[in-house]
Structure 1
Amino acid sequence: MPTHVYAERRARVCAALREAGGGIAVLPTAPERTRNADSEHPYRHDSAFYYLTGFSEPGAWLVLDATGRSLLLCRPKDEEREIWDGYRLGPEAAPGELGVDEALPLDALDTVLPQRLADRPAVWFPFGGCEGLGSRVEGWLAAVRARSHAGVEAPTQQRDLALLLDEQRLFKDAHEIALMRRAGEIGAAGHVRAMRASRPGLREYQLEAELLHEFRRSGGSGPAYNSIVAAGRNACILHYAAGNAELKAGELCLIDAGCEYGSYASDITRSFPVDGRYTAPQRALYELVLAAQEAAIAHTRPGARKMDSHWAAVRTLSAGLLDLGLLDRNTQGGVDDVVASAAYRRFYMHGTGHWLGLDVHDAGEYLALDEAPVEQPDGLGGIAIKKPSRRLQPGMVVTIEPGLYVRPAPDVPERYWHIGIRIEDDALVTPDGCELLSRGVPVQPDEIEALMRG
């Protein structure tokens, strides 16, 4: 993205700092992580840091001042290390390349921060997710306090930078939306490739390989999260990792996989027949989940609350579970009773969606913090008094992912045993409703069967 996009984001954070009373914001990127011995995990920068800089090298820090100034501290140029590890931008080139006001070598951090924090009212930094950062900040503050005899005052407040930054990240700009559309296209293409490759006798890891091939072939950096490829009864395990289970005729395969493109994620789930044709029980449950997703999509629009789509899906699923005999009207009652008692949670135990962006479970508050608490279902069969969910607005991106997971039980018709189905798409909230970014892979059962026959 152009450097001015990141400069505008930094300027908004600085303006928010001023509105909140001033101070200095400090944000590190993610550290490198050892995998084993002298091997490292593939490096992935911190999302919030990247959002404000577009800089993907490890070992960097960003310092923002309420006055509007930005400072980057990064690794210095080192010809010998660059032979082994690759090119480094270096502090001399950083202002011109990244648009920051100033850049210094990384080893200046512990000298510069006490200077920048002197006589400032607050220090802002992310409270969660940055191991050891709190202790580092305390060290800088101690250095400032040591100068109190010279009339220097240390910040009296430590505040969570996420309170300012997460709200900005929740609303995607045009550059982000373009990247997320492409991530959705590549993710969908991976699912199509896996469906076409599916046949009895393959292993889950072989379908996972099809996904990875398409993600990288099409320019993605790889999967946005650990791909779920679950054959047969494994689909009833929500976070199942692709293993070596065999795909069998007459069973379903559930794939929950997304591509990362330009650091932005897609998140897509499809449940398809291994041999290309749904059985009658599989189709009945699949069409019910699809109807629940359609109900949720209809409630994904500006002005609707975030949880409206969830409860629309829950009501649709509850009605279908009663109609199909998985829940008993004589003991569970009607739809209202099933929802109130949370009896549906036996088969549907997760939420219907989450924010999506640089992270798969992206930054952003889910509650309307400026509204009064109200009575509402707690999802466990009771009533809680808590803040309502926030209202959707254009620019938000959310997943829509209802599902059903049927495990064997004496009171459950055997024809539905071991069937796990989830259908998930990525939705951009628009002024008129929502745009599905991931429908490059079919979702209607007839279309899925036709694709697999082809």
Structure 2
Amino acid sequence: MIKHTLLPASEFVSRRDKFAAQMEPNSVAFISANKEVTRSNDTEYSFCQDKNFYYLTGFNEPDALLLLIKIAGAQAEYQSILFCRDKDPMQEVWHGRRVGPELAKEAYVFDQTFTLDKMDEQVTSLINGVENVYHCFTDVDLNKQVDLWIKQVASQLKMGKRSPTVKFDCSDIIHELRLIKSEAELEIMRQVNVISGNAHQRAMKYSRAGRFEYQIEAEILHEFASNGARFAAYNSIVAGGDNANILHYTDNQEELEADQLLLIDAGGEYAGYAADITRTFPINGKFTEEQKAVYELVLKSQIVAIEAIKPGMTFARLNELVGEVLTQGLFDLGILTGNIDELLKANACKKFFIHGLGHWLGLDVHDVGDYHINEKRQQLREFKPGMVMTIEPGIYIPKGCDVEPKWQGIGVRIEDNIAVTESGYENLTVNSPKTIADIEALMQS
């Protein structure tokens, strides 16, 4: 039985406290919700909240706006203000219930709440006399609106009003906060990993020659939704045979064939948090010798990387470790040829391992947070407890490349979700088989 946990309002209040503590005195921050997006004519895509806004509010309706106002001279004192849609019985009959400002103030613990129609009047009043403005520079629509509010206040200079003059990108603060997960966040990420791991097990059991990639995808989505992860965190990759050598293959249209591998990269989203898991397995339940050799090499490199994770480690060093394992292994298999010392020095495995080793994970699949990349494109940021990342080495040998035909068409990636702890790591991906013995046993059960 999967335990379902939601974050309490106190978690979001704590995040706003931390954000406000980094604001300059006499400042205001604007963070906006997403808008609904039209899919076709008068239908919309399923709503997905702006992750920065969600991180600070937990509020999951469109069109809302959060203001944080830090009083001049105060070290921590600030006000939190939410603008949201009003209760509207007619709209709610057609489109669903709204929280409304009164309940939002109580349930989400804001100091003040207003309806959207009060926004212009209230904001121009609230920012009068404020020196600094924080907002996400990538939010083009909000940028234009903030500039308009500032101009409206500035136009009343002769009446004694004073508008903000300095702008800061609030993304810098939010992204650093989001990078370190709390224990409550980690618990949700454990749960979405269990849900997603069960989906990968279901896919393994259901896969066989003659079925189509989209049928396997349907089984995965069914498992997600049946266990509370109503949406996939990203478009699922279900890639049979040579399709696995297309890194972001999402057509998922082709028929599965015996003696091929099936690469599935799929993760659910629960309470806003993503899982990102990849498994590769034989469609008929039994690895060939060539498939087994490549798979065991990728798995060995992944284990080396995961076991090295601890505070102070970097992606740059993990990439070095994985590069050594994969280059030596590809040489031993005869897929790489030449002088082994030169191959290792050149990190020659990158011919077949063509993407990064991993990325931050959280509210976004490719989550926010600086990697501290240097001029050599090395990721030098040291890991800290609470960081969560993927570790996903792979080997891709497409048909038609310059290796022996027996290797061609093999694509293998193995991906787990790893949290950094005080003394090492925690593998959140606990229930998705990845050893050859476990995969074959599950598929033949």
Under TM normalisation by the shorter chain, which class is it? Answer: over 0.9
Where 1:322 maps in the other structure, the secondary structure is helix
CA–CA distance in 2 between the matches of 1:401 and 1:410? 23
Letter in 1 for 2:229: G
Q: Within the alignment, does 1:220 sit opposite 2:211 as a pair?
A: no
Q: Within the alignment, does 1:444 sit opposite 2:435 as a pair?
A: yes
| Pairwise CA distance, 1:346 | 1.7
Q: Within the alignment, does 1:83 sit opposite 2:100 as a pair?
A: no
Question: Match for residue 206 of structure 1?
Answer: 215
Deviations 1:246-266 (A, max 9, x none): 111100000000010111110
Q: Which sections of structure 2, spanning at least 5 residues, go unmatched?
A: 1-6, 72-77
Where 2:437 maps in the other structure, the secondary structure is helix
Select the residue among 101, 116, 123 that pairs with 2:126.
Answer: 116
| Pairwise CA distance, 1:309 | 1.7
Deviations 1:131-152 (A, max 9, x none): 4222111111111211222333
Question: Match for residue 281 of structure 2?
Answer: 272
CA–CA distance in 1 between the matches of 2:30 and 2:428? 34
Question: Match for residue 402 of structure 1?
Answer: 393
Select the residue among 3, 11, 19 that pairs with 1:5.
Answer: 11
CA–CA distance in 2 between the matches of 1:439 and 1:315? 26
Q: Within the alignment, does 1:102 sit opposite 2:98 as a pair?
A: no
* TM-score under structure 1 length normalisation: 0.92
Question: Match for residue 4 of structure 2?
Answer: none
| Pairwise CA distance, 1:377 | 4.4
CA–CA distance in 1 between the matches of 2:365 and 2:186? 15
Letter in 2 for 1:417: Q
Q: Within the alignment, does 1:178 sit opposite 2:187 as a pair?
A: yes
CA–CA distance in 1 between the matches of 2:134 and 2:291? 52
Deviations 1:9-65 (A, max 9, x none): 1111111103xx541110111110000111100011111111111111111110011
Letter in 2 for 1:389: L
CA–CA distance in 1 between the matches of 2:380 and 2:124? 40
Letter in 2 for 1:442: P
Select the residue among 360, 369, 373 that pairs with 1:364.
Answer: 369
5 Å-filtered alignment, 1:64-75, equals 64-67=68-71, 68-75=78-85
| Pairwise CA distance, 1:273 | 0.1
1:108–1:397 CA distance, 2 compared to 1 (3 A): same
Question: Match for residue 143 of structure 2?
Answer: 134
Select the residue among 422, 426, 440 that pairs with 2:417.
Answer: 426
Question: Match for residue 303 of structure 2?
Answer: 294
CA–CA distance in 2 between the matches of 1:412 and 1:442? 30
CA–CA distance in 2 between the matches of 1:24 and 1:339? 53
1:25–1:255 CA distance, 2 compared to 1 (3 A): same
Where 1:132 maps in the other structure, the secondary structure is helix
CA–CA distance in 1 between the matches of 2:27 and 2:43? 39
| Pairwise CA distance, 1:153 | 2.4
* TM-score under structure 2 length normalisation: 0.94
1:274–1:311 CA distance, 2 compared to 1 (3 A): same
Given that 1:310 and 1:353 are in contact with CA atoms closer than 8 Å, whether structure 2 keeps it comes out as no
Question: Match for residue 250 of structure 1?
Answer: 259
Given that 1:194 and 1:211 are in contact with CA atoms closer than 8 Å, whether structure 2 keeps it comes out as yes
Select the residue among 26, 33, 44 that pairs with 1:29.
Answer: 33
Q: Which sections of structure 1, spanning at least 5 residues, go unmatched?
A: 380-387
Question: Match for residue 333 of structure 2?
Answer: 324
| Pairwise CA distance, 1:378 | 4.2
CA–CA distance in 2 between the matches of 1:293 and 1:6? 35
| Pairwise CA distance, 1:307 | 2.3
Where 2:315 maps in the other structure, the secondary structure is coil
1:121–1:340 CA distance, 2 compared to 1 (3 A): farther
Question: Match for residue 41 of structure 1?
Answer: 45
Where 2:101 maps in the other structure, the secondary structure is coil
Question: Match for residue 415 of structure 1?
Answer: 406
| Pairwise CA distance, 1:118 | 1.9
RMSD over aligned Cα atoms: 1.5
CA–CA distance in 2 between the matches of 1:166 and 1:259? 22
CA–CA distance in 1 between the matches of 2:96 and 2:140? 26
| Pairwise CA distance, 1:344 | 2.2
Given that 1:208 and 1:242 are in contact with CA atoms closer than 8 Å, whether structure 2 keeps it comes out as no
Select the residue among 356, 377, 383 that pairs with 1:351.
Answer: 356
Given that 2:36 and 2:62 are in contact with CA atoms closer than 8 Å, whether structure 1 keeps it comes out as yes
| Pairwise CA distance, 1:408 | 3.3
Given that 2:262 and 2:282 are in contact with CA atoms closer than 8 Å, whether structure 1 keeps it comes out as yes
1:116–1:343 CA distance, 2 compared to 1 (3 A): same
Deviations 1:96-117 (A, max 9, x none): 1110110000122222222222
Given that 1:299 and 1:308 are in contact with CA atoms closer than 8 Å, whether structure 2 keeps it comes out as no
Letter in 1 for 2:340: G
Question: Match for residue 3 of structure 2?
Answer: none
CA–CA distance in 2 between the matches of 1:396 and 1:181? 14
| Pairwise CA distance, 1:410 | 5.9
CA–CA distance in 2 between the matches of 1:378 and 1:326? 26
